[in-house]
Structure 1
Amino acid sequence: MMSLFAKDGRPKIVPELSYLATGLGCVTRVYTDHGVFLIDGGQDQPQVVLREAYGLSVEEIRQRLEVPVVDGTRT
């Protein structure tokens, strides 16, 4: 499990990498202290689905992340 936000408050789930990566598309699920995220790495439009939220509401998470988040908590 990882923290969703860095110590300075910036989100760790970002729309674009700022460093080299060797395993693009390998991660489909991210467990954080504020929720469980499903990552659909589609070629045209990657999608981040919030499956479960902890400590923050879905709307608070949407506002703080830099990527569009789909609410998957009600399925």
Structure 2
Amino acid sequence: MKDIFTDMQAQIGCQYISDLPYHKSAVWLELKNFCLSEYPKKQLEDFSHYVFDVPYTAIQEALQRKDIMSHKRKACAD
């Protein structure tokens, strides 16, 4: 099973997962490129609370907004 915490840690180059909340901008930019359907919903909820202190539904809504998604997301293989 994929783990968004370790995947994001590797992608942005943090030494520790606990560093992720201190790199919100980098995490947000990378999050827009992740195929979020590859991760369990519970894990996405935990991740969004841990990093951004918001429910995952807020992240989902933001990712659907065209003004926030100024560049294309990678296609997901569902």
> TM-score of the superposition, structure 2-length normalised?
0.28
Which structure carries more helix by proportion?
A: 2
- Point out which structure has higher relative CO (alpha carbons under 8 A, 6+ apart): 2
Which structure carries more strand by proportion?
A: 1
> TM-score of the superposition, structure 1-length normalised?
0.29
